Structure 1
Amino acid sequence: MANRLEHETSPYLLQHANNPVDWFPWGAEALEVARDQQKPIFLSIGYSACHWCHVMEHESFESQEIADYLNANFVCIKVDREERPDLDQIYMNAVQLLTGHGGWPMSVFLTPELKPFFGGTYWPPTASRGMPGFDQVLRAVVDAWTNRREMALQQSQILTERLQSIGAGTTETAEIAPGRVDMAVKQMEQSFDERNGGFGQAPKFPHTMNVDLLLRHYVETQNDHSLKMVLTTLNKMAMGGIYDHLGGGFARYSVDAKWLVPHFEKMLYDNALLVSNYVDAFRLTKFPRYAQVVRETCDYILRDMTDELGGFHSTEDADSEGEEGKFYVWTPHEIHKLLGDETVAQRFCAVYDVTESGNFEGQSILNLKQPLAQFAELLQTSEDELAEEMANARQVLFNARCDRIRPGKDDKILTSWNGLMIEAFAKAGAALDEPRYLEAAKKAARFVLEKMTDSNGRLLHTYRHGQAKLPAYLDDYSYLASGMFALYEATFEATWLEECERLTQVAIEHFYDQDGGGFFYTADDHEALIARNKDFYDNSIPSGNGMAALVLAKLGKLVGNTEYLRLAEATVAAGADVLEKHPIAAGQLLIAYDFLQSSTEQVVLAAEQDDPSLPQLICQLQTQYRPRTLLAVHIGQSQPSPLLQPLLAEKTPLNGEATVYACENFHCQAPVSATSYLAQ
């Protein structure tokens, strides 16, 4: 029999709908039962692409014996962390305080008042591998609740007060000492892997916000090592097994330091953030390989992760047919059989590291041990010929892989992650002059604005199969606003800038802390939880405050709104302690701070409607990497949006020729022809 999760929309919750555990979704019914029966709550948080979540489900939540014990002694609540990141933040902090580490599946025991008193992550069903068994943990928790409840309640109160303190943030100082960006860069240098790229050792994650910061730092300082850290990291990731060489797109992280063996799940947000990194690096360096990675990744999202209505799906699992990575690995026999031509097959295996012994559990993950140019030299052929041969071979293997059983997909659509992908497609479309990507960004933006917005103009967080629900969080507003700003920069259609400002205004009204500065993660009319958080630290995604501050700073400087700049500065100041003590952990906030502190050029391109050079001029502007330049276009005698009226007023083409007006530090230079400006 199905439990109460059968009526949910989350694929993760639906995966547990037939467990013998009497799961409740988070909501009034479960909380009321816990209070009425004075039972502790067992709160289990995970997500659909989480490998160890699947393992714990199979081992423990499908066990009738464990389920019977849980049902008799606890109110069991299952939560999808991607649907309820507010709950995940609070109780992950609790687990980290209790154990010194965190992760998923997350297992937390709460009082009926929702205060945590014990927790952890994965436990095997019985003691093994040096870990206590889940059965032992459950008995110990029941014993504590039955025989030492007062101690458990005291522990929960202490933990809750600590969580409230963490959530509010510390404000020991509002002063940010000069050189925070330089300090963060030095910290990155200390952890940078000179051989393999990336930061730290295994497991190795894409630190996309830090890559963004390093690119900006290079442009500002011409520090060659900052650029080297970026290029080495992007090159090695694109060569490694973390990148899908057949279908495009990146896996979540690498379990080793060389980017070889990925944790095979693919997340929408990673791919969005990495596309943005590779677009910026391409704009700066013009390396064709970066454009290729952008195209292949965007095409992967369009092909496999885009809903027919335009929104982007969330994740693909690591597992298929119950095995991690089975969809992605190869043997030499398969390669030779599919390619037919013995010479081509041998070359492919040599280039992509496919061997009899394998590099992953007896099979091979495709990866490049060295750049294609070096292989061409070894094989005594031209790089162009080898590239064409390998591209044809990859297409054959991709077609064959399409007949395999795909990993499971979480097809819910999240506003926040869609905002990141909208921004990535907008940037890719502009930088590569690719209309398909711009249209994908627009279609997704329209979808979210039409299908994931309530009658009051407030965003909803999640959508699946025709149902949008759950009040949106700060990430939803700040990421989507940033995506709208990027769409404006890519198309110069003022409607996207107007939507950016509208979303920003809603965020200010409902999330901004007028007393302490900065933005809360949840709105002022959100469900009351035991803590209300402000996030300044980046995780795998940018901090909501860092993104909100950057959007405010860009908007404020583009449209001349000093109130937006004041709020941006106050938001950064609210995270001053973080920037003082751990700048490397708050890259997005540091980017916002750096943008606020730096000189920003506002560039207006004015041209006649029928100017035949206009598309090419816009393309030239958009293919440059200029992170401290804000662009606007004024065409003919068109009436600009009221938002842009102060910036565009009286800026017209001179002598019928496309003209650039550039302003910086509150003064404007004399207008020059667009061709002269671009030649500088």
Structure 2
Amino acid sequence: MAERLENQASAYLRQHAGNPVDWWPFGDEAFAEARRRDVPVFISIGYAACHWCHVMAHESFEDPEIARVLNGNFVSIKVDREERPDVDAAYMAATQALTGQGGWPMSVFTLPDGRTYYAGTYFPPQPLQGTPSFGQVLDAVLTAWTGRREDVEASAAQIAAHLAAGQLANRHLLGDLDGGVVPETPDEGWAAEALSAAVGVLSQNEDPDFGGFGGAPKFPPSPVLRFLLAHGHSGADTRPAAARLAARTLGAMALGGLYDQVEGGFARYAVDRRWQVPHFEKMLYDNAQLLRLYAHYSRAETDPDHRRLALRVTRETAQWLTNRMLLPGGAFASSLDADTEVNGRRVEGATYVFTRAELEATLGPGSPALELLDTDEDDGASHGLPGSTLRLAAVPDADQSAVWEEARTALARVREQRPQPDRDEKVVAGWNGLVIAGLADAATALAGTPEPWILRAAEAAGEYLLGVHWKGQILYRVSHHGAAQGIEGLLEDYAGAAEGLFALYAATGDPRWYEGAESLVTKACSRFLTGGTLSDTAAEPAEIRQAQGGVAAANPLDDAVPSGAALFAGVLLTSSAYSGAVHHRALAEALTAHVRRAGPAAPQAVGWALSVQQALTGGPLELAVTGSDPAAVARLLAAGRSAGGPSLVIAHGPADGVPLLAGRDTQAPALAYVCRAMVCRRPVSTAAELLGQLQNPAG
């Protein structure tokens, strides 16, 4: 029993190793056992930082009577959704189809072949406000299995057919990718119209009072913010609107309780529309994306106070990542728990919140730092918190920033003495790729201040990915304690890792990072593209294929993490910009052609693809910098990064194996070449000339 989970990479699975429930990890053996015993399968899906997952585990999975029923009548499988997003996506679709909603913990009952016949999310130990108890659910699904098997089979077939239709709709969005041919032959100018229309829809959907899109709960809209920042560097008429949308949301999140004002880093989401009260779990994938966004925003912002805030968030988030999430060997852990154990009881947010009395005891009753805060203890109490989150009332000026810096240092000392949340130390390849990209861009954004540790952290994580996860033929999704586990990476892992290595090359000029990224892109093409058909997984489990009605998954829509298809399109475009590979560009165009329809209809679902299409529309611009004088080269690189925008592709350093640098003059002190599709304008040698070319790329 316990030994099946106790050595798993996932902290979530290991948390359940001591349950009386006879858990199995997801795999062929578990389903074979269900077929041997002729019993249904119970699949429980969650993740280590999930508050309600802990609640249901304590209430039900630690209950000997519940365990007796499960062990005697089901094969029970425990799934970490972060480790197996392919499994989570299939059963989340089934849960939403059956109940109209989804979430974690997810509770799914399937046939021994993997097809769903009943599903829900959290079930309480006793009936509650119309929700049956978990014991009642077990009794009902078991009664159906034993007494109405034909109805169960029919229901499972119907659900699988519904999921198959959803997967086919996703494939229709992507169209035929054979040979990288765009599914529709678009009319001239469709992309510019679709991108501007997407900005218009986002403007209509914006919360005009507090930034972001929609009401509570509010999640960081990271993929679509990437698009807005990129569009803000374009020549479109909607450029100012895009820049304002991005600035308002980024500014509001940076001031609110979603952002940890003491230590840095962002919580997963806010439970209110004002970004005040977070759900306190901190996820690597959120912070990886937001770190990069604030680095780019700091370059775009012209107001000195707002720019200072963006740089502070960039620096502090990088510090939080290296202080709290960095593992031995250089990789980054997956998450910090929402809960902290206090006196044997799990309390959400206990590490982070302060009462007014605690603030005054730490800072002094008359501290000017208290005047900077927007705190409301009633607000925290209304959400069951033992204090208030810390939020800044307004963007601080230079003097106020210095006051807050001193205050947060004092508050950090107090917080360090408190119990700390648990950390899930599994390493996810794609998320670490996004962290590498964030750290690389943060290091260059903060280049005016000496922060070499940020770039060193990015390089160490790059070394870990190439040394532990990438075996030359297969990229493994997860590792633990420096050893890769046997789960092959998804498309999002190959593409996310390549995204990070390309960004690391742009920051350092070291061609080994470029070579690593190109090898991942090449392998992704052969592993995930077959006969014009894209798949999210290279080897989809038979049970997942059955659950989806026999159709392989290829979802082009973003979630909290960009879709694998969109990430893949982005690294294909970057590869073509560096190498001139026309087929990679054509495939990137094909993978993002659906934004012609989806962008104006649902831009928040295709934010990363919109950003790729923005880069396609702009070229993308390529910057090659060569020279014999390192200081002069550095000045040109700094100018290029300041004006080029998020889509700029940068090559520098040794020309070995990097086609964009091949044949360039390396004898002059420094030269910059601004190019499109490797066709370059005349080289320039000064920052002023380079800025002129980047600001007038058609000139």
Q: If the length of structure 2 is used for normalisation, what is the TM-score?
A: 0.90
Judged with a 3 Å threshold, the aligned counterparts in structure 2 of structure 1 residues 422 and 356 are, in CA distance, closer, same or farther, namely closer
Equivalent positions of 1:115-194 (< 5 A) are 115-168=115-168, 169-171=170-172, 174-175=183-184, 177-178=190-191, 179-194=193-208
Q: Aligned with 1:312: secondary structure?
A: coil
Higher relative contact order (CA 8 A, sep 6+): 2
Equivalent positions of 1:446-465 (< 5 A) are 446-454=463-471, 456-465=472-481
Could you give the per-residue CA deviations for residues 457-477 of structure 1, whole angstroms, max 9, x where no partner exists? 311111112431111111110
Matched residue, 2:695? none
- Root-mean-square deviation (CA), in Å? 2.1
- What code does the residue aligned with 2:196 have? D
Q: For the Cα contact (< 8 Å) 2:42–2:77, is it kept in 1?
A: yes
Aligned-residue offset at 1:224: 2.3
Equivalent positions of 1:216-295 (< 5 A) are 216-220=230-234, 221=236, 223-285=239-301, 287-295=307-315
- What code does the residue aligned with 2:214 have? G
Q: For the Cα contact (< 8 Å) 1:125–1:133, is it kept in 2?
A: yes
Could you give the per-residue CA deviations for residues 134-157 of structure 1, whole angstroms, max 9, x where no partner exists? 122111111111111111111111
Matched residue, 1:487? 504
Alignment counterpart, residue 634 of structure 2, candidates 583, 599, 615: 615
Cα distance in 2 for residues equivalent to 1:389 and 1:79: 46
Could you give the per-residue CA deviations for residues 458-516 of structure 1, whole angstroms, max 9, x where no partner exists? 11111112431111111110000000110111111111111111000110111113233
Matched residue, 2:420? 406
Cα distance in 2 for residues equivalent to 1:675 and 1:570: 36
Q: Aligned with 1:463: secondary structure?
A: strand
Aligned-residue offset at 1:611: 5.0
Which deviates the most, 571-580 or 597-606?
A: 571-580
Matched residue, 2:374? 353
- What code does the residue aligned with 2:620 have? T
- What code does the residue aligned with 2:49 have? A
Matched residue, 1:380? none
Q: Aligned with 1:460: secondary structure?
A: coil
Judged with a 3 Å threshold, the aligned counterparts in structure 2 of structure 1 residues 334 and 631 are, in CA distance, closer, same or farther, namely same
1:521 aligns with 2:521: no
Cα distance in 1 for residues equivalent to 2:677 and 2:460: 36
Judged with a 3 Å threshold, the aligned counterparts in structure 2 of structure 1 residues 357 and 114 are, in CA distance, closer, same or farther, namely closer
Matched residue, 2:69? 69
Alignment counterpart, residue 565 of structure 2, candidates 545, 559, 584: 545
Aligned-residue offset at 1:679: 4.8
Cα distance in 2 for residues equivalent to 1:36 and 1:579: 48
- What code does the residue aligned with 1:335 have? L
Judged with a 3 Å threshold, the aligned counterparts in structure 2 of structure 1 residues 426 and 612 are, in CA distance, closer, same or farther, namely closer
Equivalent positions of 1:423-462 (< 5 A) are 423-433=437-447, 434-454=451-471, 456-462=472-478
Alignment counterpart, residue 406 of structure 2, candidates 386, 392, 395: 392
Judged with a 3 Å threshold, the aligned counterparts in structure 2 of structure 1 residues 69 and 114 are, in CA distance, closer, same or farther, namely same
Aligned-residue offset at 1:247: 0.6
What residue ranges of structure 1 are gaps of 5+ in the alignment? 374-382
Cα distance in 1 for residues equivalent to 2:137 and 2:313: 46
Matched residue, 2:608? 588
Aligned-residue offset at 1:183: 2.5
Matched residue, 1:201? 215
Cα distance in 1 for residues equivalent to 2:595 and 2:402: 50
Cα distance in 1 for residues equivalent to 2:539 and 2:328: 34
1:535 aligns with 2:535: no
Q: Aligned with 2:6: secondary structure?
A: helix
Matched residue, 2:697? none
Cα distance in 2 for residues equivalent to 1:554 and 1:357: 49
Q: For the Cα contact (< 8 Å) 1:171–1:577, is it kept in 2?
A: no
Cα distance in 1 for residues equivalent to 2:93 and 2:326: 33
Aligned-residue offset at 1:162: 2.7
Q: For the Cα contact (< 8 Å) 1:331–1:354, is it kept in 2?
A: no
Cα distance in 1 for residues equivalent to 2:594 and 2:226: 22
Cα distance in 2 for residues equivalent to 1:585 and 1:141: 35
1:323 aligns with 2:323: no
Which deviates the most, 473-482 or 57-66?
A: 57-66
Matched residue, 1:651? 664
Judged with a 3 Å threshold, the aligned counterparts in structure 2 of structure 1 residues 576 and 17 are, in CA distance, closer, same or farther, namely farther
Matched residue, 1:633? 652
Alignment counterpart, residue 583 of structure 2, candidates 558, 563, 582: 563
Q: For the Cα contact (< 8 Å) 1:283–1:625, is it kept in 2?
A: no
Could you give the per-residue CA deviations for residues 275-304 of structure 1, whole angstroms, max 9, x where no partner exists? 111111111115111011000000000011
Q: For the Cα contact (< 8 Å) 1:53–1:104, is it kept in 2?
A: yes
Aligned-residue offset at 1:364: 1.4
Which deviates the most, 357-366 or 154-163?
A: 357-366
Cα distance in 1 for residues equivalent to 2:508 and 2:431: 21
Q: Aligned with 1:624: secondary structure?
A: helix
Judged with a 3 Å threshold, the aligned counterparts in structure 2 of structure 1 residues 576 and 353 are, in CA distance, closer, same or farther, namely closer
Alignment counterpart, residue 358 of structure 2, candidates 317, 326, 334: 334
Matched residue, 2:15? 15
Q: For the Cα contact (< 8 Å) 1:42–1:108, is it kept in 2?
A: yes
Aligned-residue offset at 1:351: 2.1
- What code does the residue aligned with 2:530 have? D
Cα distance in 2 for residues equivalent to 1:36 and 1:259: 51
- What code does the residue aligned with 1:308 have? P
Equivalent positions of 1:493-508 (< 5 A) are 493-508=510-525
Which deviates the most, 186-195 or 159-168?
A: 159-168
Could you give the per-residue CA deviations for residues 585-636 of structure 1, whole angstroms, max 9, x where no partner exists? 111122222322333322222211x4542223323323334234322225xx
Which deviates the most, 166-175 or 501-510?
A: 166-175
Judged with a 3 Å threshold, the aligned counterparts in structure 2 of structure 1 residues 661 and 391 are, in CA distance, closer, same or farther, namely closer
- What code does the residue aligned with 2:389 have? I
Could you give the per-residue CA deviations for residues 216-252 of structure 1, whole angstroms, max 9, x where no partner exists? 2222125322222111111111110111011100000
Which deviates the most, 258-267 or 213-222?
A: 213-222
Aligned-residue offset at 1:205: 0.7
Q: Aligned with 1:529: secondary structure?
A: helix
Q: Aligned with 2:544: secondary structure?
A: coil
Q: For the Cα contact (< 8 Å) 1:5–1:17, is it kept in 2?
A: yes
Cα distance in 1 for residues equivalent to 2:619 and 2:405: 44
Could you give the per-residue CA deviations for residues 368-395 of structure 1, whole angstroms, max 9, x where no partner exists? 122334xxxxxxxxx51x3323221211
1:370 aligns with 2:383: no
Aligned-residue offset at 1:359: 3.5
Could you give the per-residue CA deviations for residues 319-353 of structure 1, whole angstroms, max 9, x where no partner exists? 102111111111122222223x4322xx3333223
Aligned-residue offset at 1:126: 1.8
Cα distance in 2 for residues equivalent to 1:672 and 1:368: 44
Aligned-residue offset at 1:549: 0.5
Q: Aligned with 2:232: secondary structure?
A: helix
Q: If the length of structure 1 is used for normalisation, what is the TM-score?
A: 0.92
Q: For the Cα contact (< 8 Å) 2:202–2:603, is it kept in 1?
A: no
Q: Aligned with 2:613: secondary structure?
A: helix
Aligned-residue offset at 1:123: 1.1
Cα distance in 1 for residues equivalent to 2:92 and 2:543: 18
Aligned-residue offset at 1:258: 0.2
Judged with a 3 Å threshold, the aligned counterparts in structure 2 of structure 1 residues 426 and 183 are, in CA distance, closer, same or farther, namely same
- What code does the residue aligned with 1:632 have? A
- What code does the residue aligned with 2:661 have? L
Q: For the Cα contact (< 8 Å) 1:45–1:78, is it kept in 2?
A: yes
Aligned-residue offset at 1:574: 6.8
Cα distance in 1 for residues equivalent to 2:656 and 2:542: 37
Equivalent positions of 1:16-95 (< 5 A) are 16-95=16-95
Q: Aligned with 2:420: secondary structure?
A: coil
Identity %: 38
Could you give the per-residue CA deviations for residues 535-590 of structure 1, whole angstroms, max 9, x where no partner exists? 20000000000010011011112211112112222323477764575343111122
Cα distance in 2 for residues equivalent to 1:667 and 1:67: 67
Number of aligned positions between the proteins? 656
